[in-house]
Amino acid sequence: MDLLTSDSTLKLIAQGDRKALARAITIVENDLQGSRELLSKLKINTSIPVIGVTGPPGAGKSTLINGMLAELSARNKKIAIVAVDPTSPFNYGSLLGDRLRMSEHFTDPNIFIRSVATRGSLGGLSEKIIELIDVLRSSDFDLIIVETVGVGQSEVEIAGLADTTVVVVVPESGDEIQTLKSGIMEIADIFVVNKCDREGADALANSLEKMLHDFRKTSWTIPVIKVSATQKSGIGELLNKIEEHTQSDNLKEKKILLLCEKAYHLIQQARMKDVGKRELLEAIKLAVSKANFNLYLFVDQYVTRKIGDS
């Protein structure tokens, strides 16, 4: 991407051109030529809230987001959805099954949906998610929603990206003690008890409220909202709470921590750029064939060689 193309693309993105936006995301996600230049020229609107929606598989995250989209579109809001999907072990593309639930919004001009693959990332997010969010924040959206894969304890990674983290649980997801053990209690800004028409929903909501009472001492009181995504009940209350949190003092306190976390991941990503799994696999194959192979010694020598080569 040359200078003229980069500048013109960014101008189109700022004006809300979705084709230019999709092209820029493809360039950044695949680290194609011009990616770093484009990122360095972004005019990022940090006032656009990023909402992370996470929770265990089967909690109904996609269905919940579908309901949120319908309500937000009715309010004439422009929304970007980043749906992080598990990576196919065969072609490293994303498995797009959950996106079928959002198919009714594909033709809505106010809604932009992009699926990205985890590509081996263990935290429920894509390795390029930070850059993709910043590209989206350079456009004209009112809100950006990120849906994680939902991979147990590793889903806490969303807390380092989102301004507001919505954790979705369901009555059959296990008792509240297990929820606490998984670390989810520490990242939630809002709890949603989905499928609230099912047995045990009230008990789960009450238990969460009791546990949250003295759990985290901040200026924000973490709400527990009962929702039935399939029946679209409770969606309005959830969106109002999200808006309330994005304007709270708690978010102002969190902003610097979020920037630090993002910078850490970007630096980590840059340092690992020249470490490829295929090359590493070949090196290990050669090393294990020798006597007295030691994994830790191998890693030390591999890292030292990489530093010397850089």
CATH number, position 85: 3.40.50.300
Residue from 245, 11, 50, 61 nearest 130 by CA? 50
What percent of the residues of the chain are helix, what percent strand, and what percent coil, each to the nearest 5?
50, 15, 35
DSSP string, 138-179: TTT-SEEEEE----GGGGGGGGGT-SEEEEEE-GGG--HHHH
Measured distance CA(286)–CA(309) in Å, rounded: 19
Output the pLDDT for position 231: 92
What are 57's two structure tokens? 């598989």
Q: Specify the pTM.
A: 0.81
CA angle 85/86/92 to nearest 5° reads 105
Judge contact between 47 and 78, C-beta under 8 A: no
Note whether 82 and 144 are same-domain residues. Answer: yes
The count of structural domains within the chain is 3
Output the pLDDT for position 74: 92
Note whether 131 and 242 are same-domain residues. Answer: yes
Note whether 114 and 258 are same-domain residues. Answer: yes
Range of the domain at 300: 275-309
Note whether 5 and 51 are same-domain residues. Answer: no
Note whether 62 and 112 are same-domain residues. Answer: yes
Q: What is the distance, to the nearest Å, from the Cα of residue 132 to the centroid of all Cα atoms in its chain?
A: 10
**Predicted confidence pLDDT, tens digits, the chain (310 residues):** 554 467 899 999 999 999 999 999 999 988 888 898 899 889 999 899 999 998 887 888 989 999 999 999 999 999 999 988 654 433 344 444 445 556 677 788 899 999 887 554 444 456 788 889 999 999 999 999 998 866 444 455 676 788 999 999 888 765 554 555 556 777 889 999 999 999 989 988 998 888 887 676 677 889 999 999 989 899 999 999 999 999 988 777 777 777 887 788 778 877 777 777 788 888 899 999 888 888 888 988 888 887 666 6
Judge contact between 247 and 80, C-beta under 8 A: no
Positive or negative, the CA dihedral 71, 74, 75, 79 is positive
Positive or negative, the CA dihedral 222, 226, 231, 236 is negative
Note whether 232 and 295 are same-domain residues. Answer: no
Note whether 32 and 112 are same-domain residues. Answer: no
Note whether 52 and 148 are same-domain residues. Answer: yes
Measured distance CA(201)–CA(117) in Å, rounded: 32
Output the pLDDT for position 123: 46
Output the pLDDT for position 180: 55
Note whether 245 and 195 are same-domain residues. Answer: yes
CA angle 201/203/207 to nearest 5° reads 120
Note whether 200 and 77 are same-domain residues. Answer: yes
Note whether 6 and 52 are same-domain residues. Answer: no
Note whether 62 and 48 are same-domain residues. Answer: yes
Which residue, chain included where needed, has tokens 């546990």?
211
| Cα distances (angstroms) measured from residue 161 to each of 68, 74, 185, 221, 233 | 20, 27, 17, 20, 28
Look at residue 294 and give its three-state secondary structure: coil
Residue from 69, 74, 80 nearest 105 by CA? 69
Measured distance CA(166)–CA(255) in Å, rounded: 17
Judge contact between 248 and 220, C-beta under 8 A: yes
Measured distance CA(80)–CA(82) in Å, rounded: 7
Output the pLDDT for position 141: 98
Three-state SS sequence of 241-287: HHHHHHCCHHHHHHHHHHHHHHHHHHHHHHHCCCCCHHHHHHHHHHH
Q: How would you label 23-52 residue by residue, b for 16+ Cβ within 10 Å and e otherwise?
A: bbbebbbeeeebbeebbeebeeeeebbbbb
